[in-house]
C-alpha cells in the first residue's frame, strides 16, 4: 500500500556501525519510520540509488546486507556503465521506498536527467512511493542547496529536481562550511528559504508542506532559514522528535 500522500524524508542520516568491520552496517530507526509512512508492512521493498557514488559495488553490497538484516526486500538501480534494467519506470514504481545515497549531487542530477529519471521519480512521488536519502540524496529533492561535488569550498546547487520548492543544507552542524555557505546564499537571494538538518536529523514533507522533523541522535535538530526584508537571514530551530 503506498503512502497516503506524496512523501519525502530528507536526511543527514546514514548507517550505523555494527563494530564488526568497515562495511558492517545496521539501519537506524529512520528507515523503518520511512517504511511506515509508505504503509509497507513488515517487509518493505526498497530500491537503492547510488548514482552519487558511481554505483560503487562494495558500497552496494554493504547496503544490501544492512537492509536485508532489517527485513527489507532490496534491489537497486544502477546507471554505470549502463542501466541494469530494461524498464526503469516499472522497477521504481514497484517500490515502497526509493533511498538515495550521498556523494556527488552534481553527478547524480546530470546522470538522472541523461537517463530520463526526473519525470519517473516525480511520478513515483505523486503515487505514494516514499522518496528518501542522505546528503546528496536529500539535496536532490529540493530546488538546491550546497555541495562539495567540486571539492571545497562548497558551491551552490541551483538545479535540483525542485519537488520541494526550498533549498536544503545537510550536515548543518557537522561540516564547518555548511551553515555559513547556506546563510550567505540566502542573503544574496541565490537560493530560496532553506530547511537544514544536523547529522542524525531528518525532515518529512507531505506534498510540499513540512510535516515534522525527527532525529535518531540526541541533540540533533532541524532548522528553518529565511531571508528577512532587511536582507538578514534568520535561522529558527524546529521542534525535532526523537525516534
Mind telling me the catalytic residues?
135, 171
Q: How many other CB atoms are there within 10 angstroms of residue 86's CB atom? A: 7
User: What span, in angstroms and rounded, lies between the C-alpha atoms of 154 and 141?
Assistant: 19
Q: Let me know: does 32 contact 60? Beta carbons within 8 Å.
A: no
- Radius of gyration (C-alpha) of the chain in whole angstroms: 17
Nearest C-alpha neighbor of 103 from the set 80, 122, 82, 86? 80
Q: How many helices (H) and strands (E) does the chain have?
A: 7, 16
Give the torsion through C-alpha atoms of 218, 173, 63, 148, to 10 deg: 180
Establish how many alpha carbons lie within 13 A of residue 12's alpha carbon, considering only the half-sphere containing its beta carbon.
23
Element (H, E) at 88: helix 88-93
Amino acid at each position: 500500500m503506498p503512502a497516503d500522500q506524496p512523501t519525502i524524508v530528507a536526511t543527514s542520516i546514514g548507517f550505523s556501525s555494527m563494530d564488526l568491520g568497515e562495511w558492517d552496517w545496521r539501519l537506524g530507526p529512520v528507515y523503518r519510520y520511512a517504511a511506515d509512512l509508505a504503509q509497507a508492512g513488515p517487509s518493505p521493498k526498497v530500491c537503492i540509488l547510488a548514482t552519487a557514488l558511481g554505483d560503487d559495488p562494495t558500497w552496494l553490497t554493504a547496503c544490501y546486507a544492512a537492509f536485508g538484516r532489517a527485513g527489507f526486500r532490496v534491489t537497486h538501480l544502477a546507471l554505470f556503465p549502463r542501466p541494469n534494467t530494461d524498464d526503469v519506470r516499472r522497477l521504481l514504481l514497484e517500490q515502497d521506498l526509493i533511498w538515495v545515497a550521498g556523494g556527488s549531487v552534481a553527478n547524480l542530477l546530470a546522470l538522472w536527467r541523461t537517463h530520463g529519471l526526473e519525470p519517473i521519480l516525480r511520478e513515483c512521488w505523486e503515487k505514494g512511493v516514499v522518496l528518501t536519502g542522505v546528503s546528496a540524496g536529500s539535496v536532490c529533492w529540493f530546488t538546491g542547496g550546497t555541495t562539495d561535488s567540486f571539492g571545497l569550498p562548497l558551491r551552490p546547487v541551483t538545479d535540483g529536481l525542485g519537488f520541494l520548492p526550498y533549498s536544503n543544507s545537510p550536515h548543518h552542524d557537522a561540516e564547518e562550511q555548511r551553515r555559513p555557505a547556506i546563510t550567505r546564499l540566502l542573503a544574496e537571494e541565490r537560493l530560496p528559504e532553506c530547511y537544514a538538518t544536523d547529522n542524525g536529523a531528518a525532515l518529512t514533507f507531505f506534498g510540499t508542506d513540512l510535516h515534522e522533523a525527527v532525529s535518531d541522535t540526541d541533540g540533533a535538530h532541524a532548522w528553518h532559514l529565511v531571508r528577512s526584508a532587511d536582507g538578514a537571514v534568520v535561522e529558527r530551530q524546529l521542534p525535532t522528535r526523537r525516534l
